[in-house]
Amino acid sequence: MIGEREKFRHDRSAYERPTLGWRCGRAALWRRPCARGPSAAGACGGVADCTPGRQGDSWQCRRRPADGGPCAAGPGSDGACSVRHAACAPRRSLRVWRGRVTLLAAGLMLSLIAVFAGSTDMDATRLSSLDPGALSAAHAHFAGEAGCAACHNAHGRGVAGWWRAFRGVGAGDSPHRPLAAMCLDCHGFNGRESLAHNHVFEGRRASTSTDCLMCHTEHKGHNAVASTITQAQCQTCHTRKVNGFATDHPPFPAGFPHDHAQTVRFDHVSHFGKHFADPRLASQVPAGGCVGCHQVENAGRTIKPAGFDTACAGCHGDAIGRREFVLFRWPEIESNEISKDEVLEACGADGETLAELRAAVDAARRGTPPPAPKSAAAFSAVSADQPTAVTAFLLGAPADDAAQYGIPVQELARAMMRDGVDPLMQLLARLGPAASSRNLLAGLNAEQLRRAACAWAANREYEAPGQAALPGWRADALELRYAKPVHADPALRAWMETWAAAAPADGADRERFAAARKELMSPSEGPGACFKCHTANGPSDGPLALRWHHTLSDARPLTRFDHRPHIDLLGPEKTCTTCHRLAAVVSPTGAAFQPLTLDTCTSCHAPGRVRDDCNLCHVYHQDHALIKRMMSDAK
Amino acid sequence: MRATRTNTLIVWITAAALAALGYWHEVTRRGLGDPTFVTGYMLFTLMVFLSLYNGRKKLSMISLGRVSTWLSLHVVAGFVAVVLFVTHAGTLWPQGWADRALALLFYLVTLSGVAGYALQLWLPGRLTRSGPEIIYERIPAEIAGLRDAAEQAVTDAAAQSGFDTLGRYYVQTLSWYFARPRYWLSHVFGGRYAEFWLQRRLATIRRHLSEAERSALGRLAELGAAKTAVDAQHAMQSVLKGWTLIHVPLAAALLTVATWHLILVHVYAR
């Protein structure tokens, strides 16, 4: 039995062929298998005990010794074995079954891929063999109806499109658009997108070309961050190795972070050191120290001031109303070029003319000669002033030469006497097309101006009816002025912006323009009080950039800072002065605070304390912005 | 000894290759390069190589190296594939149905492979200890032979003693045991349930038998013990052969989905 090794001798046991595709059906039923086993085609090989061999004229039994050797009956005369058995039903071998299941598994996968390849919408809950994972929340809604094709230009273009993409060839003759190029359909930067940090740094060679896909990955889930960059990755390019913020970070620049130009000037030193300490002003000082003026609840990279009305108006509100803008002043003229008849025809008779007429009529009744009219006396100008520099520039005449400005001024008065505001508008057109569109003279009463012009033409002061109560244009005495301006007055702002943008070309005009702009925008007098706080940057005779609002400095586009967590941690009272310590004097750059040093930050941002990796304060891209095309495509 | 040296060499070469791969991957990743394309192709190539092991067994007539060496390479390559997969995917459970199907298949193939390798380490020793080893294909004949011998012993006993007690008991009880392999699960896990069952049945009838029949019962006990050994061989060998019915088809499915993944990457990710 099992212990009998001899039974496995070659002549006593069957030759097993486990690699064949069939096995004996009797063995499958745990019966004694036949010696020969099934054929390669799966036919039973055990119908007969042997296949008799012919020897001369007779047939010889060739049954194996293992099966008992030659049988007694021997083969029949036709050579057939005389020991016959019922045929079995051979079964497939394990190997064949494994092959079949293997093919089935591969076929099943192919079928599933084919069936679910048709489901290509953006709904991540639907099965799709093209589904690479959900898009991040930032991108999920922008793909819109374009779906996958918004970024993958081979999508939906069939086998031919896939083959072209595989070979890197686009549709038609156009080259294949790489995936990174598709990003730029929506994303823009202030600099070349293929440069590290979108910028060529001074004194350094252009870094290795970069690609969006180097850092940004998608389809990692709805809440996934599309980009992650480690400190070690920063160190690959940066020649100065920063292994730790506290140990290796270069010192902050001198004056940091107050070393950039301020958009709204405010002298913290004098306010905190002098004005806020004055007991007489105690009721007007914003309460709460720093947070009295700065909107700590909206803290971000900066903590914007609350605005003029909240922070400044308590002390400075009335001063602005006194800084009126005189647009036109009737100047001293050497000779009157406008006849009385012209004035009478254009303006009608005024009180003085009527009095002269009445005197002439009375004299005629009495039979005495009429009194000599005042106009017949030697001419004496009602004004002893020069025209405003603005008027001089608009008229193209020097403000200090009555012989030169006399005629143009009277021409203007003559025109205003007839047409009111229009002549002034025509003059303002010299400032460029923007001047008329800005409606610089909005609210100016044309009739009042005409009446004033009549008075000036008649060499008299104009007596305005009533007093100015509200901001607006008003003619009074010898001037046309914008009275009682308020903070952020739209009319004055329009004047400032128009004059800031204008820049005449020729020499004489250039001088007069500079003088006029100085008169208009001077912080010390006139309406230019705005520029005691607001900044206007540029050449005196060229276009100026006006900064009305407190804006973020663009000096460090690759740096970020958030005040909020600092305030949350320390509380608004302590937080400000922890980092921003008032300086003794304002620096030449306008900084009122002592510079920040690394020690201030490293006291908290250090290993084992608060995060101190590069990404906490530095960003990779420079001024990333979305391009409008994405919005239009999404509609 | 030679196999041990070869295996040691394979392990060291693999460890060095993995260390080099890890270094290259980190340097590339730090340099904002994209190592996934290379690791993906390496993984796919490794999968193809792993699948060649099955082909090697089919081509036993060609000298393609020792099977033991192939097995060592298969095991080590499988381990490397797991490392590469995690490195390539960057996560254990990726997003998206297609990638999840790929990951699931990979894990199933890995688990079935580990299980198969464990079986190959565990069962052969037990096969040797359980008695003379029998070629798997010859087990039906062996069982048939044992059955024939048992029936012959019972018939002879009836003829000699003139009683049919043992004969009827064999037909009613013991023939079930000799008909085919029994207690497969017990044998796989090294249990002795079959042995206990047989001894209990033989002990139950012993006191009812004549002297001549008791002699035949002793013969039946010998044959039963031999049958138990054959059953153990059958159970363990069928496990060793049968696990490939899971591993190989899963590997084929994995290769199919991996090929699809490769196509998608070339079409969509560039």
**What DSSP string describes A21-79?**
SEE-HHHHTTSPPPSS---TTS--S-SBS---EEETTEEE----GGGTSS-SS---TTS
* Contact call for B32 and A214, based on CB within 8 A: yes
Q: pLDDT (tens digit, 9 = 90+) per residue, A571-595?
A: 766 678 888 888 888 887 778 899 8
Report the predicted TM-score, pTM, of the whole model to 2 decimal places.
Answer: 0.72
Q: How far apart (Å, rounded) are the C-alpha atoms in residues A597 and A575?
A: 16
Chain B touched by A540 (CB under 8 Å): no
Q: Which chain B residues have a beta carbon less than 8 Å from that of A165?
A: 266-268, 270
Angle formed at CA A269 by CA A266 and CA A271, multiple of 5 degrees = 70
Residue A26 pLDDT > 60, yes or no? yes
Determine the residue among B24, B26, B95, B245 to mutate to test chain A binding: the one whose Cβ has the most chain A Cβ atoms within 10 Å: B95
Please, which residues bridge with residue A610 across strands?
A605
Q: Which residue has the higher pLDDT, A483 or A624?
A: A483
Residue A634, both tokens: 């999404």
Tokens 């990003």 correspond to what residue?
A183
C-alpha distances in Å from residue B219, one per residue of B157, B232, B239: 10, 20, 30
Q: pLDDT (tens digit, 9 = 90+) per residue, B160-172?
A: 999 999 999 999 9
Chain B touched by A171 (CB under 8 Å): no
Name the range with the highest mean pLDDT among A118-132, A147-161, A189-203, B225-239: B225-239
Q: Residue A566: exposed, middle, or buried by beta-carbon count in 10 A (0-12, 13-18, 19+)? A: middle
Q: What percent of chain A has pLDDT over 70?
A: 90
Q: Cβ(A7)–Cβ(B147) under 8 Å?
A: no
Name the range with the highest mean pLDDT among A285-289, A414-418, B114-118: B114-118
The B residues from 88 to 107 touching A (CB cutoff 8 Å) are: 94-99, 101
pLDDT confidence of residue A29: 94
Q: pLDDT (tens digit, 9 = 90+) per residue, A335-362?
A: 888 888 888 888 887 777 777 778 878 8
Distance to chain A for B30, nearest Cα, Å: 4
* Contact call for A106 and B253, based on CB within 8 A: yes
Reported in sequence order, the residue ranges of A530-623 that DSSP labels E, i.e. its strands, are 535-537, 545-547
Chain B touched by A128 (CB under 8 Å): yes
Q: pLDDT (tens digit, 9 = 90+) per residue, A497-538?
A: 888 888 766 777 888 888 898 899 988 888 998 888 898 888
Domain boundaries, chain A: 118-229+620-635, 325-486+497-520
pLDDT confidence of residue A162: 86
Please, which residues bridge with residue A477 across strands?
A462
Which residues 6+ apart lie within 8 Å of A372 measured at CB? Answer: none
Over residues A458-485, mean pLDDT:
85
Backbone CA torsion sign across A212, A213, A217, A219: positive
pLDDT confidence of residue A171: 63
Residue A501, both tokens: 């943008």
Question: Nearest Cα to A252, choosing from A609, A602, A619?
Answer: A602
Which residues 6+ apart lie within 8 Å of B95 measured at CB? Answer: A132, A133, A134, A219, A220, A221, A224
pLDDT confidence of residue A634: 43
Q: pLDDT (tens digit, 9 = 90+) per residue, A139-160?
A: 887 766 677 888 888 888 888 8
Chain B touched by A108 (CB under 8 Å): yes
Q: What are the b/e assignments for A19-29, b being 16+ CB within 10 Å?
A: ebbbbbbbbee
Q: Which residue has the higher pLDDT, A351 or A26?
A: A26
Please name the helix (run of DSSP H) or strand (run of DSSP E) that holds residue A294, with its range, or none.
none
C-alpha distances in Å from residue A446, one per residue of A329, A395, A429, A473, B17: 17, 20, 18, 10, 91
A4-8, B108-112, B254-258: lowest mean pLDDT where? A4-8
